[in-house]
Amino acid sequence: MTQPVSAPAAGGFRGVFALGGTALPLYAFLARLPAALCPIGTLLLINERDGIGDAGAVAAALWLGQALGGPVIGRLADRRGHRPVLLVTCGANAAVLVALVTAVLGGLPLAARMALGVATGLTVPQVGPLARARWARLAGEDKKLLGSALSFDTTLDEVGFMVGPALAGILAVTVHPASALALAAALILVFGTLFAVHPTAPGPAAPTVPGARGDVRLWSPGLVLLFAMAVLQGAAWSGANTGVNALAESLDEAGAAGLVWAAMAVTSSIAGFVTVVRPGSADLAVRLRWTIAAQAMLTLPLLAVSGLPGATVAVAAIGLAVAPHLIALFGLVERTGPAERMGEAMTVVGSGLILGQAAAAAAAGPLAAAYGYRAAFAVSCAAAVTSGAVVLVGAGRVRIGTTTAATAPAAAAMKTSSLPAPSPDPRRS
């Protein structure tokens, strides 16, 4: 058994960088940027050549593959260690992305492109969820430091989903519609590999007490509740996004939809960085309830939007609650999921976000086509309000933020026992 890594006492950015060095967050950010580049890059490439129908079908196939493959990759990373699983998936994902671009440019049938879309999603390396699992292991029992690390990591996601779509659009116009996917393949191959081989990569999760094995039960009532919150969060995003696109199209300004939507990512990123610096003293479960309630209230004004300036203000206001909500959500996943399967727990909840987006897009698109953009906004409002109702009812009946009885004895030890031996100075890695 390796010696536990002693976590620095400082919180905020200083504590996070002292914990993992500057290279780890840089590699994690650039390795997860393809997750933001690929969906919009796929839509732009295929829409340019074959129309929005084919583009939507392939993008949906990619989403489906990612939702199904994420938990499998997370489980393998827990059992085999992050390094070998990430090295294989990064190489495979880059290769499949190149194959997808080749198939589109070569005019292969839709079925072949959809199959490659599913394969692309299945091989997404899940850098975001595995990075959160890695921070949880590095921070150990220092909850203040862990809160700062998870807040910082979630904010990196928000920055990525602000930069990714904008970068994909710029590359499609100035270089080539396929350039966003080509860049995604290069990023995941280079920086995904660097993230995989970083000294902080944990090895296989080893049992620390009799009976605590890698196949310990994953699901608990608390994790089910958090998964439901993730699905509803994804649905709230997707309904609002569909409504923004439908509104822009109705005003013959379809190109402005991305800029409107970016307003949410900007305010969410700011709120996330503020949370890193000033996390507050409220319990995570309390913060989850408050942020979901705030998001539900901030979503309702979408129903009164009648133009792009109003939509920009509305989605920017919603963004103020998004990052704090996700920070509380994934912080509770770390406390609720079994330590032996933390990577899988993080990827399962991440897949919930994707499933919610896909389901809401399937409903909001036809509704917007039939009844106008406000129908799509209504889907977003319904998801946000339902999320608030579920967490208020469920939080009183289900304990979240605590490990299950079966895994509690092993949880604390598992935070540190499967860490690799630390390098003399991980900041030099």
Encoded tokens for 15: 């504590």
Nearest to 49 by CA among 103, 121, 119: 103
Q: How far is Cα 198 from Cα 68, in angstroms, rounded to an integer? A: 27
The pLDDT value given to residue 297: 95
Q: How far is Cα 326 from Cα 229, in angstroms, rounded to an integer? A: 10
Domain boundaries, the chain: 21-204, 217-418
Question: From the centroid of its chain, how far is CA 52?
Answer: 25
- The answer to whether residue 406 scores a pLDDT higher than 80 is no
String of DSSP letters for 68-127: HHHHHHHHHHHHH-HHHHHHHHHHHHHHHHHHHHHHHHTT--HHHHHHHHHHHHHT---H
Label residue 317 by pLDDT band (50, 70, 90).
very high
- The answer to whether residue 384 scores a pLDDT higher than 90 is yes
Label residue 425 by pLDDT band (50, 70, 90).
very low
CATH superfamily, with its number, for domain 217-418: MFS general substrate transporter like domains (1.20.1250.20)
Do the Cβ atoms of 255 and 152 come closer than 8 Å?
no
User: pLDDT tens-digit profile of 304-316?
Assistant: 999 999 999 999 9
3 SS3 class: coil
User: pLDDT tens-digit profile of 204-252?
Assistant: 866 544 444 446 788 888 899 999 999 999 999 888 988 888 898 888 8
Label residue 281 by pLDDT band (50, 70, 90).
low
String of DSSP letters for 344-406: HHHHHHHHHHHHHHHHHHHHHHHHHHHH-HHHHHHHHHHHHHHHHHHHHHHTTTS--SS--TT
The pLDDT value given to residue 304: 94
Encoded tokens for 319: 């963004």
- The answer to whether residue 428 scores a pLDDT higher than 60 is no
Sign, Cα dihedral of 26, 29, 31, 34: negative
Share of the chain above pLDDT 90, in %: 35
Q: How far is Cα 149 from Cα 132, in angstroms, rounded to an integer? A: 8
Label residue 398 by pLDDT band (50, 70, 90).
low
Label residue 409 by pLDDT band (50, 70, 90).
very low
User: pLDDT tens-digit profile of 350-370?
Assistant: 899 989 988 888 888 888 888
Q: What is the DSSP letter of 341?
A: G
Q: How far is Cα 186 from Cα 121, in angstroms, rounded to an integer? A: 16
Of the two residues 429 and 176, the one the predictor is more confident about is 176
- The answer to whether residue 403 scores a pLDDT higher than 80 is no
User: Is 315 exposed, middle or buried (CB count within 10 Å of its CB: 0-12, 13-18, 19+)?
Assistant: buried
Encoded tokens for 331: 């912080």
Q: Which helix (H) or strand (E) holds 66?
A: helix 52-80
The pLDDT value given to residue 8: 42
| CATH topology assigned to domain 21-204 | Growth Hormone; Chain: A; (1.20.1250)
Label residue 424 by pLDDT band (50, 70, 90).
very low
Label residue 280 by pLDDT band (50, 70, 90).
low
The angle at the Cα of 118, spanning 114 to 124, to the nearest 5 degrees, equals 140
407 SS3 class: coil
Q: Which residues make Cβ contacts (< 8 Å) with residue 331, sequence separation at least 6?
A: 146, 147, 150, 284
- Domain pair 21-204 / 217-418, same fold: yes
Of the two residues 103 and 38, the one the predictor is more confident about is 103
The pLDDT value given to residue 283: 81
Do the Cβ atoms of 58 and 48 come closer than 8 Å?
no
Nearest to 238 by CA among 170, 183, 302, 156: 302
Q: How far is Cα 132 from Cα 178, in angstroms, rounded to an integer? A: 30
